[in-house]
């Protein structure tokens, strides 16, 4: 089957953006596009990260610990590297991808702002669908709905939307560059309506201000599967300047292990299916 060229293919011959939003964009070749999965993701065959770095810049992001330089870590959220040879690498891979399980993405968000400009993920999806891969997509971005036509081509696919709180106040402190909570819920509801398998991942679960209203909003998406995981302030990695406001908010809202457990128990009583931790991230 012929693959429609996406905007990334087209952009190879046109000037590439050097800045999108507050993030500096650079372009580097990568040794590979699929990485053998390990650790938390070891239930998968591969992870796929089209970008290095993430302009969503969540203050607690563990991926910031895996970067090459201290400068990159300290400026997490302000830079993104595009794997400029990602399409060629995937296209030329000889490995049979039929029924191989792939998690996109483990250390970046595939649908961050730069993707809207480049369309790299869109082109990667067309190849993965054609080659019969089994895909799980993890994002915080409504942009995922742009590619519903491609997701419909997969035999096995799941889209996970991360929603960490009901509160825009909490979201702005921990995830200041991420899309608002309501936009994420609307997007995953659209995925659900398109009959693409999907989940909402409450990971990490940040302070929730009104648990009952939150549960109602989650159920209104008509998503059936939810995953929750705790946020540990003492283990969280806050980027410079956010630690104090974040910790103060956690203290104000009394968000500790007891509050987490109480919130999870109330959500579990209402949500159709709530898995906890790694079990909820297994391949489809
Ligand atoms: S969206 Fe994901 S990868 Fe990006 S900063 Fe937030 S936690 Fe990290």
162 Cα: distance to centroid of ligand 1 (angstroms)? 10
Residue 54: CB within 6 Å of ligand 1?
A: yes
Report the alpha-carbon distance of residue 190 to residue 202 in Å, rounded. 18
112 Cα: distance to centroid of ligand 1 (angstroms)? 9
Residue 7 has pLDDT above 90, yes or no: no
Report the alpha-carbon distance of residue 28 to residue 50 in Å, rounded. 11
Q: Which helix (H) or strand (E) holds 193?
A: helix 181-193
Report the alpha-carbon distance of residue 135 to residue 112 in Å, rounded. 18
Are 34 and 46 in contact, with CB atoms under 8 Å apart? yes
Task: Give the DSSP per-residue string, 26-61.
Answer: EEE--S-SEEE--GGGTTSSEEE-SEES-TT--TT-
Residue 161: CB within 6 Å of ligand 1?
A: no
Helices 257-270/211-220 angle, 10° precision: 40
pLDDT over 90 percentage in the chain: 81
Residue 108: CB within 6 Å of ligand 1?
A: yes
Residue 140: CB within 6 Å of ligand 1?
A: yes
64 Cα: distance to centroid of ligand 1 (angstroms)? 9
Q: Between 74 and 222, whose confidence is greater?
A: 222
Classify 11 as helix, strand or coil: helix
| pLDDT tens-place string over residues 87-127 | 999 999 999 999 999 999 999 999 999 999 999 999 999 99
Report the alpha-carbon distance of residue 162 to residue 60 in Å, rounded. 14
Are 211 and 267 in contact, with CB atoms under 8 Å apart? yes
Residue 236: CB within 6 Å of ligand 1?
A: no
Residue 109: CB within 6 Å of ligand 1?
A: yes
At 118 the pLDDT is 95
Residue 55: CB within 6 Å of ligand 1?
A: no
56 Cα: distance to centroid of ligand 1 (angstroms)? 6
Are 263 and 208 in contact, with CB atoms under 8 Å apart? yes
Going by their DSSP bridges, the two strands 79-83 and 23-28 should be labelled as parallel
| pLDDT tens-place string over residues 230-277 | 987 767 778 777 788 888 888 888 899 999 999 999 999 999 999 998
Lowest mean pLDDT among 9-13, 51-55, 122-126: 9-13
Helices 211-220/181-193 angle, 10° precision: 30
At 1 the pLDDT is 42
Phi and psi (nearest 5°) for 103? -115, 120
Are 163 and 185 in contact, with CB atoms under 8 Å apart? yes
Report the alpha-carbon distance of residue 228 to residue 205 in Å, rounded. 7
| pLDDT tens-place string over residues 25-35 | 999 999 999 99
Phi and psi (nearest 5°) for 222? 70, 15
Lowest mean pLDDT among 14-18, 139-143, 185-189, 204-208: 14-18
180 Cα: distance to centroid of ligand 1 (angstroms)? 14
Closest protein CA for atom 6 of ligand 1? 58
| pLDDT tens-place string over residues 183-242 | 999 999 999 999 999 999 999 999 999 999 999 999 999 999 999 999 877 677 787 777
Residue 171: CB within 6 Å of ligand 1?
A: no
Atom of ligand 1 nearest to the CA of 105: 3
Residue 63: CB within 6 Å of ligand 1?
A: yes
Residue 142: CB within 6 Å of ligand 1?
A: no
At 213 the pLDDT is 98
Closest protein CA for atom 8 of ligand 1? 61
Residue 80: CB within 6 Å of ligand 1?
A: no
Strand-by-strand arrangement of the 79-83 sheet:
19-20, 23-28, 79-83, 51-52
At 2 the pLDDT is 43
Residue 104: CB within 6 Å of ligand 1?
A: no
């Amino acid at each position: 089957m012929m693959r429609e060229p996406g905007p990334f293919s087209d952009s190879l011959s046109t000037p590439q953006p050097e800045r999108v939003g507050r993030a500096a964009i650079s372009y580097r070749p990568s040794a590979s596009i699929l990485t053998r999965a390990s650790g938390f993701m070891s239930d998968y065959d591969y992870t796929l990260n089209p970008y290095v770095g993430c302009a969503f810049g969540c203050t607690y992001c563990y991926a910031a610990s895996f970067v090459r330089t201290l400068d990159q870590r300290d400026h997490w959220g302000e830079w993104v590297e595009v794997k400029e040879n990602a399409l060629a690498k995937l296209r030329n891979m000889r490995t049979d991808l039929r029924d191989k399980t792939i998690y996109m993405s483990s250390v970046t968000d595939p649908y961050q702002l730069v993707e809207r400009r480049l369309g790299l993920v869109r082109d990667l999806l067309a190849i993965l669908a054609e080659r019969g891969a089994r895909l799980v997509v993890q994002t915080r971005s409504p942009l995922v709905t742009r590619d519903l036509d491609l997701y419909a081509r997969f035999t096995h696919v799941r889209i996970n939307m991360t929603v960490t709180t009901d509160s825009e106040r909490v979201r702005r402190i921990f995830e200041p560059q991420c899309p608002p909570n309501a936009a994420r819920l609307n997007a995953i509801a659209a995925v659900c309506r398109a009959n693409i398998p999907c989940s909402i991942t409450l990971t990490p679960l940040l302070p929730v201000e009104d648990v009952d209203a939150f549960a109602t909003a989650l159920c209104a998406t008509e998503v059936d599967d939810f995953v929750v995981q705790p946020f540990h302030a003492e283990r969280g990695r806050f980027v410079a300047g956010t630690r104090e406001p974040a910790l103060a908010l956690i203290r104000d809202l009394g968000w500790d292990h007891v509050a987490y457990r109480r919130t999870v128990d109330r959500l579990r009583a209402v949500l159709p299916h709530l898995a906890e931790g790694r079990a909820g991230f297994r391949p489809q």
